[in-house]
C-alpha cells in the first residue's frame, strides 16, 4: 500500500466524527429506551422484529437472521425475554422446522408504549438537526455503502437492513 | 405525542438503511482487522489511542475516558492485552494519580502493521463509494449531530469523538 492510499485530512476528520456520531446515537437512543421503558436496545430490536411479523411471530432461525445475531446470543436473549413474559416459545404441530417465537400481549403492549418515546429520542438526537436534503443524502449514501459491503461480502445478510426500529 | 411526530416514510427508510450501514461497517472493519492482524476492534482502539499519546502512554483513567469505556471493561481489556505483551502497566514515581498504560514495542509494531490494512478496509467498504461532496456532507452532519447530543447530555464525553482509528 502506498502513502497515497491513506485517508486525507478531511477524510480522517470525517471518519472520526462519523464514528463518534454513531456511538453517541447508539448510547443516547439506548439510554432513552432504558429510562422510558426499561428496555435494552436488544430487547427493543426483538420486540420490533416480532411486532412487524405476520401473527407477531417468527421462527427463531429467521429472527436470528433478521437481527444478524448468532445462535448463542439469540437464545440467551430469548430466554431472558421469555422469563419477563415478553414472548413465548412454541413449536408448530404442522411444521418441524424449529421453534417459533411469538410476542405476548404484554410484549405487544410494551413495544407500543415504548415506541413513541423511542421515536422522540431519535428525533431529538438526530432528525431535529437534519434538513430534508440531509435526509435524502444520508439515505442515498447508506444505500450505496450497504450495496458496496454486500457486494464485497457474498455472505452478507440483507435482512439486517430492516430489523431495528419503527 | 401526536401522530405527526412519527417518522415519515423517507425518514423511516433512511433511519433503517443508516443503521444497517453502521452495523455493516462495524462488522466489515472488525472482520478485516481480525483477518489481517488478529486484532479485535477493541484491541485496535486501545492501540491507536496509546500510539497517538505522548510517549505512547496514558493514564488508565484517561484511556477509559477517551474510549468511553467503564472501568470494568477497560481493566478486563487491559489485562488481556498485557498478557499478549501489547502494553504494560506501571505506576509513575512522581505522580500518585493512578496507573499508566504504555504501549510496548511489540504493540507499536503491531498497530503499525495493522493500520494499512485497516485503512484499506475503511476505503473499500466506505470511502470508495463516496464523492467529495458526500465526505463534506457527512462531516457536517456528524458535527451537527454530535453537537446536538452533547448539548442534550451535559455528561457527554467529547474525547470519545477522537479515539478510534488513523
Phi, psi of B120 (to 5 degrees): -60, -40
Question: Which has more pLDDT, B7 or B85?
Answer: B85
SS3 B93: coil
Q: Is the pLDDT of residue A126 over 90?
A: yes
Do residue A142 and residue B23 have CB atoms under 8 angstroms apart? no
Nearest CB to A124 within list B6, B123, B152:
B152
Q: What is the pLDDT of residue A95?
A: 66
Q: Does B112 touch chain A if contact means CB atoms closer than 8 Å?
A: no
What's the pLDDT band for A92 if we cut at 50, 70, 90?
Answer: low
Q: Does B14 touch chain A if contact means CB atoms closer than 8 Å?
A: yes
Q: Is the pLDDT of residue B158 over 50?
A: no
Side-chain-facing half-sphere of A17: CA atoms under 13 Å: 19
pLDDT in tens, B89-115: 988 666 666 789 999 999 999 999 999
Minimal C-alpha gap between A135 and chain B (Å): 7
pTM of the model: 0.81
pLDDT in tens, A33-43: 999 999 999 99
Nearest CB to A146 within list B24, B130, B135:
B24
Minimal C-alpha gap between A32 and chain B (Å): 11
Q: Does B38 touch chain A if contact means CB atoms closer than 8 Å?
A: no
Q: How many CB atoms lie within 10 A of CB A8?
A: 11
Q: Is the pLDDT of residue A163 over 70?
A: no
Query: What value does the mean pLDDT of chain A take?
Result: 87
Amino acid at each position: 500500500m502506498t502513502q497515497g492510499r491513506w485517508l486525507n485530512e478531511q477524510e480522517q476528520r470525517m471518519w472520526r466524527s462519523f464514528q463518534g456520531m454513531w456511538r453517541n446515537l447508539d448510547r443516547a437512543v439506548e439510554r432513552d429506551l432504558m429510562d422510558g421503558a426499561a428496555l435494552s436496545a436488544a430487547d427493543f430490536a426483538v420486540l420490533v422484529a416480532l411486532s412487524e411479523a405476520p401473527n407477531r411471530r417468527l421462527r427463531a432461525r429467521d429472527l436470528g437472521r433478521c437481527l444478524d445475531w448468532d445462535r448463542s446470543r439469540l437464545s440467551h436473549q430469548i430466554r431472558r425475554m421469555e422469563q419477563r413474559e415478553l414472548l413465548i416459545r412454541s413449536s408448530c404441530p404442522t411444521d418441524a422446522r424449529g421453534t417459533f417465537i411469538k410476542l405476548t400481549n404484554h410484549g405487544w403492549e410494551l413495544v407500543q408504549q415504548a415506541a413513541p418515546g423511542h421515536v422522540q429520542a431519535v428525533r431529538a438526537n438526530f432528525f431535529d438537526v437534519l434538513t430534508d436534503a440531509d435526509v435524502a443524502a444520508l439515505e442515498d449514501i447508506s444505500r450505496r455503502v450497504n450495496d458496496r459491503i454486500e457486494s464485497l461480502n457474498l455472505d452478507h445478510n440483507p435482512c439486517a437492513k430492516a430489523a431495528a426500529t419503527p
